[in-house]
Amino acid sequence: MFRYSISFIFLLVCSLGYTQEKAMEVPSVEKDSLVYKTAYGLRLGADISKPILASFNGNYTGFELVADYRINKKIYVAAEIGFEEKTSVEEYSNSTSKGNYIRVGFNYNAYDNWLDMNNEVFTGVRYGLGIFDQTLNSYTPNVNSLYFPSESINVSITDSGLTAHWTEFIVGIKVETLRNLFVSTSISYKIVLAVNDPENFKTLFAPGFGRIFESGTGFGFNYTISYLIPFTKK
């Protein structure tokens, strides 16, 4: 009887030890092997708001090409280059500015995308440089006299090689509508740093900046379509 009791106790101890060992084992959790990567590359496009504006305004012509390159998850190096020609019709003058411009800077994407989405809610900063000609087409002397009424005087005085420098702050959104195809809209607040004026006249419009007011500030609007050329995924 004693021998059977010893055998039973031995079996019980072995059974409890095996059970405890299994209980102490931590089940392994298989890690999710699915990783979403985002395309990095050069994005090229155009601002379609300018040709639309030109179709409604006979005094304006312009086009703009845009580009950006993603350097990390949030930061994009960005640039715009374009041409504008604008005839400004004022109360006492008629003048035309035309020339080229470039803006360079960066955008910061503040939007956290889900999974493999690639949209942006961004802010940005640009430095702008415009090189242009301005032509005084006509002017009217500011003379209020009953006997000497003011008449418009037609002239063609052109000053070439004028420059304008400015900085601008941008807020916008960019949406991937199709694979690698993006639609974007943005507004910008611009501040003049320096601008050349023609002799005996004021620069009223600078390509890339727009209308120059007495405050030296202005606003801009862009509506662009662009395509991403992916180089890699991270």
pLDDT of residue 147: 52
Are 84 and 62 contacting, i.e. CB atoms less than 8 angstroms apart? Answer: yes
Provide the domain limits for residue 215.
40-233
Segment (H or E) for 178? strand 153-178
pLDDT of residue 234: 79
CATH of the domain at 74: 2.40.160.20
pLDDT of residue 146: 53
What does the alpha-carbon distance between residue 89 and residue 197 come to, in Å, rounded to a whole number?
17
What does the alpha-carbon distance between residue 234 and residue 228 come to, in Å, rounded to a whole number?
15
Q: Count structural domains, the chain.
A: 1
Residue 22 lies in a domain: no
Residue 17 lies in a domain: no
Residue 116 lies in a domain: yes
pLDDT of residue 29: 44
pLDDT of residue 143: 64
What does the alpha-carbon distance between residue 201 and residue 222 come to, in Å, rounded to a whole number?
30
pLDDT of residue 157: 84
What does the alpha-carbon distance between residue 209 and residue 54 come to, in Å, rounded to a whole number?
16
pLDDT of residue 223: 96
pLDDT of residue 201: 84
pLDDT of residue 6: 43
Q: Which residues contact 149 (CB under 8 A, 6 or more apart)?
A: none
Q: In tens digits, what is the pLDDT along the chain, a chain of 234 residues?
A: 444 444 434 443 454 344 444 444 444 444 445 666 788 899 999 999 999 999 999 999 999 999 999 999 899 999 999 999 999 988 788 899 999 999 999 999 999 888 778 899 999 999 999 999 999 988 777 666 555 556 677 777 889 999 999 999 999 999 999 999 999 999 999 999 999 988 878 899 999 999 998 889 999 999 999 999 988 887
Q: Specify the amino acid at residue 129.
A: L
Residue 6 lies in a domain: no
Residue 14 lies in a domain: no
Dihedral of alpha carbons 172, 174, 175, 178, sign: positive
Nearest CA-CA partner of 196 in 204, 188, 186: 204
DSSP 3-state assignment of 5? Answer: helix
Residue 34 lies in a domain: no
Cβ neighbour number for residue 106 with a 10 Å cutoff: 17
Residue 21 lies in a domain: no
| pTM for the full predicted model | 0.79
The count of C-alpha atoms lying within 13 angstroms of the C-alpha of 162, restricted to the half-sphere facing its C-beta, is: 25
What does the alpha-carbon distance between residue 129 and residue 61 come to, in Å, rounded to a whole number?
18
User: Counting runs of H as helices and runs of E as strands, what totals does the chain give?
Assistant: 2, 10
